[in-house]
Amino acid sequence: MAGRGGQEEVYFGKLLITHGSIVRKYSAYTAKGEAELRRYAISTLSGHTHRGGCFCTTTREGIIQAVEGFCLCSLTPEYARNPDWQNGIVLAEVTKDYVSFDMIPFHHKAGGISARWRGKEYKA
């Protein structure tokens, strides 16, 4: 389904996945903007900013979450100087009653990249 500006929007029950069209200065501010754009009607996962962030609000329908979903691209692109981006992934569990997210940032260390999820460390 096409969204604003011809962007693809994919719905999984109570979750909307979209590229996103808003950029705000701080992590999670963009997620809040995506929630406001949809009048807090549905939980949203977007990736436009290449950052991780989560905004939550409570409505009559329950908790609505808007998440900025990190990126898997280079953090040092030739076209941007010192971007405020983070590598990582977001896992989403969607049921008929709720949406739940696991945000997993990738940490860059001298020895490589690592991530922690459910008490276990993963290294690349």
pTM higher than the cut 0.75 = yes
Task: Give me the domain span that covers residue 44.
Answer: 4-123
CB proximity list for 10: less than 8 A, separation 6 or greater:
1, 16, 17, 18
d(CA 57, CA 38): 13
pLDDT, tens digit, 9 for 90 and up, residues 23-35: 999 889 999 999 9
**Distance of alpha carbon 61 from alpha carbon 40, whole angstroms:** 10
65-98 confidence digits (pLDDT tens): 999 999 999 999 999 999 999 999 999 999 998 9
Tally of structural domains, the chain: 1
